[in-house]
Chains A and B, each alone.
Chain A
Amino acid sequence: MNRLKPLLFPFCGFMIALFICTLILVAAGERYSILLESFYNTFFTHFGLGYALFYSTPLVFTGLSVAVAARCGLFNIGAEGQLYIASVALTFVATHLLLPIPLAIPLAIFAAMLGGGFWGGLAGFLKARMGSHEVIVTILLNFIAYSLTDYSILYLFRNPEVQNPESLEIFQSYRLPLLSDLSALVGLETFSTTPVNVTLFFAVLCAFLVHFFLFSTEKGFEVRAVGFNPKASKFNHISVEKNTILAFVIAGALTAGVAVNEIMGHQHKLIQGFSVEYGFTGIAVALLARNNPIGILFSAFLFGSLHNATREMEFMSEKVTKELSFILQALMIGFVASERVISEVLSRRGKKHV
């Protein structure tokens, strides 16, 4: 029971949000059950769950990226740019080198990590050596990354066959199987036609790896030490500069997962503007999980399933516009995030009764 306690208050918040959102929907003239239906569709149908997991996957990576930087006391607003550079690196490899699967997949993932890590490291370097504030640096690097990505798509590996600016398709050997394909192999029909793919497993793996890095390695120890108290770190011979760069390199490399999910798992090509601000949503994901890597798995899933549930709602209703669905999402997240308020109210209540 005690282990579940951290989940109790967010769950209470979720239930309250559900209630308030239902009130809003009823006020808008919608049937009272629509919210529950959309959540039912999200959690208990192959189609909904598949999409919810697919939306969650990139958020795990960007959430981890933000969290690693935050553990080092850094605010990484650059995950968005980092994931684009990772995508460019990945696409470059996957459209140019025709390799067999056992070589192709690790190489492409490595290239993406290198790209993202380089972009993150650049921010880290500027912060550590030049003293520029990482928030400004990462925001500006985002703009450069967008432009470099546009350039790459338009001039390096553009697919001339289509109007939309997108890259050539990556070679067959770089493509990752969908979970529905995998389950079909053993005769199961899961996740119907949804694009959720094996990158989901990488995401879970990464969360645990990051957890081990932070809490079971000396480098992680130093990163956290710098994050909490750079001055004390210096006095104990832990380099603030090196760890700032390291944290940013890791943060950037983690965003490679977004590129892998999108390009190797789903689209099989790099489409301009494919990231719907995954990098920025990652900030909220990490905040909600309080930068706990395992918690990020849950908070990313919350964001992913909310995204899907509100989308489902738009299909079920005439009155739920995309603006209203944004409001509902915001309310849900707001209430889950205000667990502290809820826990305080509850504990104060408890005290009065004693």
Chain B
Amino acid sequence: MRLILVSFLFLSFSLSAKPFKVGLVLDKGGRDDKSFNSAAYNGANDLQKKLGFDLKVVESSDDTALEPSLRTFAQHGYDLVIGIGFIMKTPIEKVAKQFPKTHFLIIDSLVALPNVRSVIFKEQEGSYLVGAIAALASKTKVVGFIGGMDIPLIRRFEMGYKAGILATQPKAQLITNYVGSSTDAWRNPTKGKELALSQISKKADVIFQAAGASGLGVFDAAEEKKVFAIGVDSNQNWVKPGKILTSMVKRVDLAVSTTIEESMKDQFKAGEFSVGLAEGMVDYSLDEHNRKILTPEIEKVANDLKKKIIEKKIIVPDYYETNKK
């Protein structure tokens, strides 16, 4: 029995010339979540078509599978292992320590190890812009924010959003709700919709969601009650054309593809990379789906603010910084 097994092994592992190998670990959302995971997957996949390296993508069936997946990549001699999302922080910390020669990329969280690149997006800057847009588009001057899980990362969205609202409409009112405090908060569209409906009943007519799949419920509510919603992470304007005012995009795809490219050219740089409007890594989105609802006047204000932020004439408050003190 064992003999047969071994001979099978030789058959299957006979061809390997040692190309560059990239392992990408997605969380439970999977490659089709139309948001965070999709962005990472597309970034890596498109580049793979261009440069032709070995790309292996693994979807974790559950949270405990993240660490084994990362470790299996490292064990199998992958050159670069990518983990998407703050949930990867602990697993990457552990695995990166054990495999110091392997390069790692983590998004949205800081792992201070010499073989890990941490890319952190300045979500507050993008949120500031969509806050400004929301306040200007609102007729009732009441706007809403629905966060997924109540964690500092999402508080950061909220804080930037609020600053943007107040910058354009100092008298506007902001209603904030969070779906929950566990990871389930990312996949509860029903609750997302309930929260949105309750905000709408309190006169909110633009709602920004940063709630993963729960945000789809927010879109439903907006469509039903004929108010605007604002998308997050990927450009979600197409999900409900004409109902989604804009999206606060995080270019996770760019972060992934540039890291792969650099790593391939032996130019991998570890450390913390905090990227924002200036690098073009966060932005608000404008396309054919929201062109009609995002007026040129609002667009002009938004672009002005964007310029000022890049020129550091406006410093958007950062939840991480303010809460450190």
Contact = CB atoms under 8 A, between A and B. Distances in A.
Indicate yes or no for A touching B, C-beta below 8 A. yes
Interface of A: 31, 33-34, 36-37, 39-40, 44, 47, 51, 150, 154, 162-166, 192-195, 267, 271-274, 276, 311-312, 314-315, 321-322, 325-326
Given A47-B75, A322-B61, A150 B8 contact: no
Nearest to A147: B182
Given A314-B58, A326-B61, A271 B90 contact: yes
A193 B98 contact: yes
Contact of B4 (A36, A162, A163, A311): A36
Contacts of A51: 68
A40 B63 contact: no
Given A272-B183, A276-B64, A315-B58, A40 B6 contact: yes
26 contacts: A33-B8, A33-B12, A36-B4, A44-B2, A44-B5, A154-B181, A163-B108, A163-B152, A164-B86, A164-B90, A166-B90, A194-B71, A195-B67, A272-B183, A273-B182, A273-B184, A274-B63, A276-B64, A311-B69, A312-B72, A315-B56, A315-B72, A315-B73, A322-B59, A322-B60, A326-B61
Contact of A165 (B9, B30, B75, B182): B182
B166 interface: no
Contacts of B184: 273
Contacts of A276: 61-65
Contacts of B240: none
Which size bracket describes the interface of B in this complex? 35 or more
Contacts of A325: 61
B12 A31 contact: yes
A70 B89 CA distance: 40
A165 B5 CA distance: 43
A312 B69 CA distance: 9
A176 to B, nearest CB: 16
Given A37-B9, A163-B151, A271-B90, 15 more contacts: A33-B11, A36-B8, A37-B5, A37-B8, A40-B8, A40-B9, A162-B109, A164-B89, A164-B183, A165-B151, A165-B181, A272-B182, A276-B61, A315-B73, A322-B60
Contacts of A163: 86-87, 89, 108-109, 151-153
A45 to B, nearest CB: 9
B312 interface: no
B183 A273 contact: yes
B11 A267 contact: no
B75 A192 contact: yes
Contacts of B98: 193
Given A37-B9, A164-B90, A274 B64 contact: yes
A165 B12 contact: no
B50 interface: no
Given A150-B182, A276-B62, A311-B65, A162 B90 contact: yes
B185 to A, nearest CB: 10
A271 B5 contact: no
Contact of B5 (A31, A40, A150, A195): A40
A162 B89 contact: yes
B76 interface: yes
B86 A162 contact: yes
Interface of B: 2, 4-6, 8-9, 11-12, 30, 56, 58-65, 67-69, 71-73, 75-76, 86-87, 89-90, 95, 98-99, 108-109, 149, 151-153, 181-184
Contacts of B69: 311, 315
B182 A271 contact: no
Nearest to B88: A164
A154 B2 CA distance: 50
Contacts of B73: 315
A246 B90 CA distance: 39
Contact of A164 (B11, B87, B95): B87
Contacts of A274: 63-64
B177 to A, nearest CB: 17
Contacts of B95: 193
A338 B134 CA distance: 60
- Which interface residue of A163, A272, A326 has the most chain B CB atoms within 10 A? A163
Contacts of B67: 195
A193 B89 contact: no
Nearest to A162: B89
A272 B64 CA distance: 11
A34 B56 CA distance: 16
B169 to A, nearest CB: 30
A193 B9 contact: no
A166 B152 CA distance: 13
A311 B89 contact: no
A47 B76 CA distance: 10
Nearest to B7: A33
A280 B215 CA distance: 30
A56 to B, nearest CB: 14
Contacts of B4: 36
Contacts of A273: 63, 182-184
A52 to B, nearest CB: 11
Nearest to A40: B5
B90 A193 contact: no
Contacts of A267: 90
A283 to B, nearest CB: 18
Given A31-B12, A33-B12, A321 B59 contact: yes
B183 A165 contact: yes
Nearest to A278: B64
Nearest to B98: A193
A311 B75 CA distance: 14
B183 A315 contact: no
Nearest to B30: A322
A193 B71 contact: yes
A31 B90 CA distance: 35
Contacts of B30: 322
Contacts of B8: 33, 36-37, 40
Nearest to B149: A165
